[in-house]
Amino acid sequence: MGSPGDVLTLISAGSATTRSDLARLTGLARSTVSQRVDALIDCGLVEETTGGESTGGRPPRQLRLRTEDHTIAAVDLGATHCRVALTDLGGTTVATAEDQLQIAEGPQAVLTHVKKRVDELLGERTLTAIGIGVPGPVEFAAGRPNNPPIMPGWNDYPVPAFFPDVPVLVDNDVNLMALGEHRHAFPGTRHLLFVKVGTGIGCGIVAEGRLHRGAQGSAGDIGHIRVSGHEEAGCRCGNSACLEAVAGGAALARALGVESGAEVVALVQQGDVQALRAVREAGRLIGEVLAGLVNFFNPEVVVVGGLLSRVHDHLLAGIRETVYRRSLPLATQHLTIVPSRAGVDAAAWGAGILAREHYLSPDNINRLVSACEDV
């Protein structure tokens, strides 16, 4: 209470713009407010400028976060791509890059590439924190991928150690998509599910405005929930009738005799009736699983993203049909089911938000201030 981090929260939210505001809002003694503000200024987090409306005497000095002096790197690693975006502490994008990159090349090769790209984009700017999304489960507190099926060589690899000078936040890409979608498109909602329908199927969960990662960080792994009437469909996980094994992009491609989910999307866009029916039926199966999750979790919004959502008319029709048929009326009366608004940027957005919110959290600011005072 009343720590430098709490004071910074009030300044960065715009709730306090002067030392008087801070004294009033916190109940801290004026001398304590001055100590806190001076420490934040000394650390380069806050600046104080003259200006503001005069009330007769000297105009009060204004406090503001030095957003542009701090740069966040947001990194979205997919199976075959690497997107990097730099933003300032206010979330404004200052540079971006996108490359083809195989995550299966392993952490050394991939992170060396990421580091090089971030350094190039940075130029003279100072790096403040990095957020990284990866296509697999992550032990969030340690930043270590946890038996990720499509990331050979990454299991238990300590990603943050690769960037020793700044805080590094690593999370599953679907979690970051949920976070990005929530903060950008649905900031007023409390409970949101983001369903990614790509080669596989996953879900990110926002509960009370915060990511729900679960005990092992594996929350949202809905691709292996059983659907009824498909016992014949074996899944790569060793079970059968998993959602992903019948409704994921890879399963649809197999059923339609093409190579990839992207080709399924192309067929639907060409008006191929068989592909269209397959996507609609995949929507129904995803809807069957979501119907149960809507009863259980009672979200306000379900956002559908990922490759297959490019043909969302057909996918969402199937999902909505089943959710509205199988979920309880109380849980669906105000439920919104919509396609992703962030599209391909969702994971990078989320990675940047994760890193910014961590950097500006009171605990981190207090650590920075006390490290700064010790020098």
Residues that bind a second copy (CB under 8 A): 1-3, 6, 25-29, 31-32, 137, 146-147, 190-191, 203, 205, 207-208, 210, 212-222, 224-229, 237, 239, 241, 288-289, 291-293, 295-300, 325-326, 328, 330-331, 333-335
Please state the closest distance from residue 27 (CB atom) to a second copy, in A: 4
- Determine the 3-state secondary structure of 173 from DSSP: helix
Closest distance to a second copy from the beta carbon of 26 (Å)? 5
Q: Tell me how far apart the alpha carbons of residues 203 and 212 are, in angstroms, rounded to a whole number.
A: 11
Which two tokens mark 182? 């929530």
18 or 128: whose CB is closer to a second copy?
A: 18
Nearer to a second copy, 107 or 137 (CB): 137
CB closer to a second copy out of 76 and 244: 244
Using DSSP's 3-state secondary structure scheme, residue 117 falls into helix
Q: Which two tokens stand for residue 314?
A: 């057909």
Question: Apex CA 8: angle with CA 6 and CA 9, to 5°?
Answer: 65
| Cβ at position 179, least distance to a second copy in Å | 15
Shortest spacing between CB 357 and a second copy, in angstroms: 16
Nearer Cβ to a second copy (26/340): 26
Those residues with Cβ within 8 angstroms of residue 214's Cβ, 6 or more apart along the chain or in another chain: 220
- HSE, CB side, 13 Å, CA atoms: give it for residue 341: 13
Q: From CA 261, how far away is CA 199, in angstroms rounded?
A: 6
The long-range contacts involving 141-148, CB below 8 angstroms and separated by at least 24 positions, are 143/168, 143/169, 143/170, 144/170, 145/170, 146/216, 146/217, 146/218
- The residue (of 131 and 145) whose beta carbon lies closer to a second copy is 145
**Least Cβ distance, residue 218 to a second copy (angstroms):** 5
Q: How far is the CB of 348 from a second copy (least distance, A)?
A: 25
Integer Cα distance of 263 and 81 in angstroms: 18
Give whichever of 88 and 288 is closer to a second copy, judged by the CB atom. 288
